[in-house]
Amino acid sequence: DKNPLAVELCKVALWLEAHNPGEPLNFLDHKIKCGDAIVGLAHKEELERGIADEAFKALPGDDKATAVSFRKRNGEERKQKDQMTIDYSKDVTEAVNKAIEQFQLFKSLPERTPEEIEAKQKKFLELNTGITYSRLKSLADMQVAQFFIPKTAVNKGYICTDATYRKYLREKIIPTGMPPAKAEVLAQEKGFFHYFIEFPEVFQESGPDRSQIGGFDCLLGNPPFLGGQKLSGTFGDNFLEFIQYQFYPIGAVDLVTYFFRRSFDIIKERGFQSLISTNTIAQGKARKDGLDIILKQGGNINHAIKSMKWPGIAAVEVALVTVTKQYWNGIFVLGGRIVDTITTYLDNSEEQGNPFKLKMNEGKSFQGSIVLGKGFILDPDRAQSLIAKDPRNKDVLFPFLNGDDLNNNYDQSPSRWVINFHDWSEEKAKTYSDCYEILERLVKPDRIAKKGDRGAEFWWQFLRIRKELYQSITPFKNVLVIPETTKYLTFAFCPTDIVFSHANKIIVTDEFDFFSILKSSIHLYWVWKNSSTLESRMKYITSDAFEIFPFPINLKIENKQSLNKIGEDYYEYRKKLTKELKLGFTKTYNSINNGDIFEKNIDTNLKHLDKKTIEEKFGKETWNFWNHLQKTEGTCLWEEAVNGIVRLRELHKEMDVAVLEAYGWTDIQLRHDFYEVDYLPENDRVRYTIHPDARKQILKRLLELNHLYFEEEAKQGLHKQKDVEAFYEQKGQPIPEDVAKWFKKGKGKART
């Protein structure tokens, strides 16, 4: 644990639990340790990696020229190292074995009396200051420290490049000088933790030929959760750069994913890890960079609960996942049921691999603008007063649509305006003095405080303008928009003469056949399977949902006409219904998925019942719907509302059938009804949707179609070599000659 107090409390807890009256408290310092569980080295073999070039990436606060200079120097030194034949492994192994030998002698010391405990503690301190331990730790610390040392002129003497490190590695003494001294300071400050040094008896090699790498038999834990986008802000850019290097390949994922990867790295062959996680561990990038890689490295999931409410106070859904480092021929238990297998999605579907981005979907989806600065945002009255004062201000004042507007306003209208100076120069922005003054007063002070950032240099502009988005939608009057975080797939056509918040994803189309496909259950379950979630809400990340989605191609005219008609019918009816109900998308779809709202089983005389009776007989959601209609002026009658909800369900069913026909999968029976879906929280799992068997069949075929499309595009030389290699590696096949030819000629991704 990084917290020294937590370490001491752990010892106290063990003493209280295991203390025998009349005997001294056991010595535990060699068992319970303080440090960062994911920042440091795991195995002795890592010492030979040397200093990574990635350690010299220029980060905020670094001097770019200094960082570039050291990176170039380090790269040249590593090339020279590759030409040398010196082998350090024997020396490192001897040092580690010596540490193990010393530790075994220490472990055998008795601790029956206070004097023996004191003697054991003294011996432990000797080991931690001796040549063997100190040398290995200094070398390991220097590797990690280079990621944390600011690359500035002042720190040049502290920085250690590969040649210097290998000089220390060759010498059989404790490293001395400025680089190891600085590394030691940083190690204490940041809590660098090297498992093979701190637990030498656990990581000793075993087997007849000592070829089996050591590790823990079993790891149990409740690692910390923290969203991937928050890591650098919480722990610093240096921390993020190191762990992304250490656990490559890995992207912007929750902190818990790194703990899964580290845990698997430090358990032994045939060992187990059983961890609590956010349920996002089986979703999106966290799944691909966590469980997926663990299974590729020989792991197997033999027990899991995909999603359950945290038993404590925190309102969070968690997953329980057990992984073993071996081929598993025992039973698999998923959600309390014995199944044939457990995939990285934490389900028991047939494992077919991951989907890949498709060229056909490239450049059709975008994220909205990242504004960064509350001063940009205005209420409508303030915006209109600025336009009334100077009509020129209309050039830089726009309605501003965020995710809440799209889901909660029944007409999806923007509730705020925004000052938008596009990519203009500051001189041009100044000519709009009223709006410029607002930003200068409310935005500039915070922006310029972050030196070296684009937001500081161009403080009067959005942090991310998304110029390519607005250029792409210029020919269109309306485009499809969906909030990034949403409970339902709430696509809506929105005008293009507004500014879209980063909380929205924009699909560049104005066609209803496209809307039908994206709004269908076919696309819905693809999104739930491949994207991340936040409790009962999905995160519509276009790279994990849209860009990999295999749309039906070569549509027959009648299929396209059918999709257009049902899409328009559904859209216009939904628009009319939300206006009559005066409800946004989220609350409207809550009623769509409420199995108690039916023409045949709902009492049209609810006004004669009180709240408690309605909730007991028809559920809380029915009461919310009824109560809204009674207290909101201008809404339709209860009977009309119920009929409207039922009709929208029927239209959704027709839409799903039309989409399925477009794919040619008419052999699948959709069987629309109210079903529990296992990926949602326990208290909110019922949806009006297709049968679970149909869902499994559709997901299987969509993945097969994604692979087919990708392979066809690869044959045309449309994909990068690394992506093609990953695709065929997943299939367990060599790259076919008609695909490999593009890379042999240096033409990978040459065509568009």
Dist CA 444 CA 456 (whole Å): 8
Strands 267-278 and 216-221: parallel
How large is the angle between the packed helices 692-715 and 521-530, nearest 10 degrees? Answer: 80
User: Both ends of the chain: CA-CA distance in Å?
Assistant: 51
DSSP 504: E
Between these two residues, 549 and 17, which has the higher pLDDT value?
549
Q: Which of 661, 466, 472 is nearest to 562 (CA)?
A: 661
Residues 578-607, mean pLDDT to the nearest whole number: 86
CA–CA distance, 150 with 129 (Å, rounded to integer): 28
Q: Could you give the CA distance from residue 630 to residue 326 in angstroms, rounded to a whole number?
A: 61
Q: Tens digits of per-residue pLDDT, 414-460?
A: 999 999 999 999 999 999 999 999 999 999 999 988 776 788 999 99
| pLDDT for 267 | 97
Tell whether the model's pLDDT for residue 125 goes beyond 90.
Answer: no
Closest CA to 419 of 477, 369, 494, 476: 369
The reported pLDDT for the residue numbered 93 is 73
Which H or E run contains 530? helix 521-530
pTM: 0.79
Give the span between the Cα atoms of 67 and 263, in whole angstroms.
32
What integer pLDDT is reported at residue 752 of this predicted model?
A: 36
Mind listing the pLDDT tens digit for each residue in 262-281?
999 999 999 999 999 988 89
Residue 84 confidence (pLDDT) above 60: no
Q: What is the pLDDT of residue 604?
A: 62
Distances (CA, A) of 140 to 30, 49, 147, 369: 19, 10, 12, 43
Question: C-alpha dihedral over 440, 441, 446, 447, to 10 degrees?
Answer: -10
Please give the pLDDT value at position 750: 42
Q: How high is the pLDDT of residue 751?
A: 43
Residue 545 phi, psi (nearest 5): -130, -65
- C-alpha dihedral sign at 432, 469, 656, 280: negative
DSSP three-state, residue 91: helix
Give the whole-angstrom CA distance, residue 321 versus residue 307.
Answer: 10
Q: How confident is the model at residue 209 (pLDDT cuts 50, 70, 90)?
A: low
| C-alpha distances out from residue 155 to 182, 212, 348, 527, Å | 10, 41, 53, 48
For residue 87, pLDDT beyond 80: no
Confidence at residue 601, expressed as pLDDT on a 0 to 100 scale: 62
Residue-wise DSSP of 306-352: EEEE-SSSS--EEEEEEEESS---S-EEETTEEES---TTSS-SPP-
How confident is the model over 525-535, as pLDDT tens digits?
A: 999 988 887 77
Give pLDDT, residue 23: 79
**Parallel, antiparallel, or unpaired for β 397-401 and 416-419?**
antiparallel
What confidence score (pLDDT) does residue 569 get?
98
For the segment 224-249, the average pLDDT, to the nearest whole number, is: 91
Dump pLDDT digits (tens) for 390-417. Answer: 999 999 999 999 999 999 999 999 999 9
What confidence category does residue 605 fall into, taking pLDDT thresholds of 50, 70 and 90? low
Which pair of structure tokens corresponds to residue 550? 């295999």
Which band of pLDDT confidence, cut at 50, 70 and 90, is reported for residue 144? very high
Six-digit token pair at 457? 């240099």
Q: In whole angstroms, what is the distance from residue 567 CA to residue 570 CA?
A: 5
Q: How many CB atoms lie within 10 A of CB 397?
A: 22
Identify the pLDDT of residue 375. Answer: 95
Average of per-residue pLDDT across 322-349: 93
- 3-state SS assignment for residue 482: strand
Mean pLDDT of the chain: 91
Position 489 pLDDT exceeds 60:
yes
Instruction: Look at residues 527, 487, 534 and name the one whose alpha carbon lies nearest to residue 507.
Output: 527
Is pLDDT at 227 greater than 50 in this prediction? yes
Identify the three-state secondary structure at position 695. Answer: helix
Q: Above 70 in pLDDT, residue 185?
A: yes
